[in-house]
């Protein structure tokens, strides 16, 4: 769950309870649930990506890279086909990914060792790859307190908790990391369906979710949630304003000079349309490790 630009200074995301959207026209319980689920998943991924960026590992923070390295670490050498499920890639997409990882010496592929298939390959995690995964896990574990709270909140919304065996009372750090990879893959596929004329469907959806709080939200909240710089967030809000989806008002808070971003009726309708397309059941299954739909 990455963005093109990140905030130049570290901004910790607020984990205050999410307010129900728009006091004059509340969303239905299912739609509001989808809004909260998206925001929490986004916060988990955003915080993790920022931690990796600070450590110089942002290049390896994609869901598919972590999915490959984690699977090879847990299961040992495997045939390429075994990596389709954890990455949610097509065979062509997986082949391109493995070539990139092999070029960067994170994995190796050995041919001619598969019985009855001389062209078949076995994919193995290299020492460099194992070291990279170890660094990623260390970074993730360093923020376990905040991430556990977010995962607990997400589990409460989805009515479950992540685990590899389906019956683990206390999810481990690895369980949470793998769940994040699966959830990110589902959201990435989902955001594509929101596209149309929208050049940034993920950021637009996140911004609309943030503006959907009762009483609206401040522009800095859009910066936090989208991961954009202040300039990038301003451009996004300008585009949404021009499209009639949001309005920026002054004097709605104790600081009368403060700008408040609110949804218009059209914006609320567009947010509802998108949220009704959120596959809550599939996110629930991805959270516990029971999602097997491949993506491009």
Highest averaged pLDDT of the listed ranges 109-123, 132-146, 183-197? 183-197
Domains, the chain, in order of start with CATH, read 23-194 (1.10.10.10), 198-276 (1.10.10.10)
Q: What is the pLDDT of residues 208-224, one digit of tens each?
A: 999 988 788 999 999 99
The whole-model pTM stands at 0.71
- Cβ neighbours of residue 237 closer than 8 Å, sequence gap 6 or more: 207, 219, 222, 246, 248, 261
Alpha helix ranges (H) inside the chain: 29-54, 63-75, 84-87, 91-103, 127-142, 144-158, 173-193, 201-211, 219-226, 230-242, 265-275, 280-288
What pLDDT does residue 12 have?
A: 40
- Cβ neighbours of residue 238 closer than 8 Å, sequence gap 6 or more: none
Q: What is the pLDDT of residues 79-105, one digit of tens each?
A: 898 898 888 788 898 999 999 999 999
Q: What are phi and psi of 78, to 5 degrees?
A: -140, 165
């Amino acid at each position: 769950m990455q963005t093109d630009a990140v905030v130049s200074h570290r901004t910790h995301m607020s984990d205050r309870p999410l307010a129900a959207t728009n006091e004059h026209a509340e969303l239905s319980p299912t739609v509001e649930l989808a809004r909260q689920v998206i925001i929490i998943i986004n916060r988990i991924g955003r915080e993790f990506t920022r931690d990796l960026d600070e450590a110089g590992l942002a290049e390896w923070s994609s869901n598919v890279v972590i999915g490959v390295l984690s699977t090879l670490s847990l299961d040992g050498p495997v045939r390429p086909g075994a990596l389709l499920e954890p990455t949610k890639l097509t065979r062509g997409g997986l082949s391109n990914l493995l070539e990139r990882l092999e070029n960067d010496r994170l994995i190796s592929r050995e041919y001619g060792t598969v019985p009855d298939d001389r062209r078949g390959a076995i994919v193995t995690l290299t020492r460099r790859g194992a070291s990279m995964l170890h660094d990623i896990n260390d970074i993730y574990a360093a923020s376990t307190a905040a991430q556990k709270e977010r995962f607990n909140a997400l589990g409460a919304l989805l009515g479950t908790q992540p685990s590899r065996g389906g019956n683990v009372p206390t999810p481990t750090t690895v369980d949470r990391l793998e769940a994040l990879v699966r959830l990110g893959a589902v959201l990435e596929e989902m955001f594509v369906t929101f596209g149309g004329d929208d050049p940034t469907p993920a950021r637009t959806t996140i911004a609309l979710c943030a503006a959907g709080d009762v009483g609206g939200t401040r522009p800095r909240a859009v910066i936090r949630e989208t991961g954009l710089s202040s300039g990038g967030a301003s451009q996004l809000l300008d585009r949404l304003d021009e499209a009639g989806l949001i309005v920026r008002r002054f004097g709605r808070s104790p600081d009368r000079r403060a700008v408040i971003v609110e949804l218009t009726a059209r914006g609320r309708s567009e947010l509802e349309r998108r949220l009704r397309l959120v596959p809550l059941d599939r996110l629930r299954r991805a959270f516990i490790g029971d999602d097997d739909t491949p993506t491009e």
